[in-house]
Amino acid sequence: MSEQVWHEPVDGFEFSTGEVIVDADYQREKLQACGLPADRLNNFVDASFYIGIGIRHGIENGISAEGNVNMVQRLVQYEPVKLGELLTVKGFIEKVTQVPRGKTVQTQIWFENEAGKKVIDASRMSLKPDPSKTGVRGAGERPAAVIENPSALQPIESWTLTPEQVKAYSTEGNSIHYEMASAVQAGFRAPIIGGGMGVHYLIAAMIDRTACATFDLDIYFRRPIFWDHQFDVLMRDDNGGMCLASDNKVLTEARINAIA
């Protein structure tokens, strides 16, 4: 096996086309690690998986995710994807910006079915920290809040994570999600979950509440969720937004741009 060649992210870097399948066994294993029932989606894929799959596609193309932190995630499901359905993944790095803490990297990632129709968009903006700037604040403009006051909303569900759960969900590629030493070196008190893991809880609550088949979300990762965190899932009465919150602080939130 040839050794992985790593590339510095730059504007316009194109990824090779790949193929991906999320099967029933994989979905069951990972949702059970989250504590979520695998039969909630009736033989369709939880679109949250495409967040991590998109990141891994970048890794396969030589863009390291080690130490990176997802900041803003777009997740659009144009139509549901069946378990075992073959999709093509495509993407490129749109823009790299210098910020006080390092670089932000905007990546376009999408998935097409066998007919060539785009069915999922999982584009994102992530922070690539500069190791010499640990403790420095500043990663660009902060988007406006979706949930202003979490305590004003009624929790839909409450969850308490364990290190065993987070390690069972995590995959190789960014050890801040499963190794204490790496997390501490990155400035965290303990490993933090990957953004996609937290989004599973939002998607589950949204689908349970609305029975939607398509949606368009902008997801903001406001604060780290540690591998022993307790949090509530909250959703606005107008279905315009939802969040994971703890101690009246938003951890991850999503603006619901469209739902059907």
Per-residue pLDDT tens over the stretch 202-258: 999 999 999 999 999 999 999 999 999 999 999 999 999 999 999 999 999 999 999
CA-CA distance, 201 to 233, in Å (whole number)? 7
On whether the CB atoms of residues 134 and 110 are closer than 8 A, the answer is no
How many Å separate Cα 155 from the centre of its chain?
21
**Mean pLDDT, rounded, for 27-55:** 94
User: What percentage of the chain reaches a pLDDT higher than 90?
Assistant: 81
CA-CA distance, 152 to 228, in Å (whole number)? 25
**Any alpha helices (H) in the chain, and if so which ranges?**
24-34, 49-60, 163-169, 180-185, 195-210
Per-residue pLDDT tens over the stretch 164-180: 999 999 976 788 999 99
**Which band of pLDDT confidence, cut at 50, 70 and 90, is reported for residue 39?**
confident
Q: How many Cβ atoms from other residues are within 10 Å of residue 164's Cβ? A: 10
**Which band of pLDDT confidence, cut at 50, 70 and 90, is reported for residue 186?**
confident
At 1 the pLDDT is 47
Q: Letter for the amino acid at 217?
A: L
**Mean pLDDT, rounded, for 117-124:** 98
DSSP E strand stretches across the chain: 18-20, 69-77, 87-99, 102-112, 118-121, 124-129, 157-160, 215-221, 230-235, 241-246, 249-259
**pTM assigned to the model:** 0.93
CA-CA distance, 162 to 255, in Å (whole number)? 27
The residues, ordered by sequence, that sit 6+ positions from 245 with a Cβ below 8 Å of its Cβ are 147, 150, 231, 232, 234, 251
Domains of the chain and CATH, by start: 18-134+145-259 (3.10.129.10)
Q: What are phi and psi of 231, to 5 degrees?
A: -150, 160
CA torsion 188-50-74-180 (nearest 10°) is 0
At 2 the pLDDT is 59
CA-CA distance, 159 to 229, in Å (whole number)? 8
At 180 the pLDDT is 94
The angle at the Cα of 201, spanning 199 to 202, to the nearest 5 degrees, equals: 65
At 138 the pLDDT is 67
On whether the CB atoms of residues 190 and 183 are closer than 8 A, the answer is yes
**Which band of pLDDT confidence, cut at 50, 70 and 90, is reported for residue 48?**
very high
Q: How many Cβ atoms from other residues are within 10 Å of residue 85's Cβ? A: 17
Per-residue pLDDT tens over the stretch 50-89: 999 999 999 999 999 888 889 999 999 999 999 999 999 9
pLDDT higher than threshold 80 for residue 140: no
**Mean pLDDT, rounded, for 188-202:** 94
**Which of these ranges, 94-108, 133-147, 164-178, has the smallest mean pLDDT?**
133-147
Q: Tell me what the pLDDT averaged over the chain comes to.
A: 93
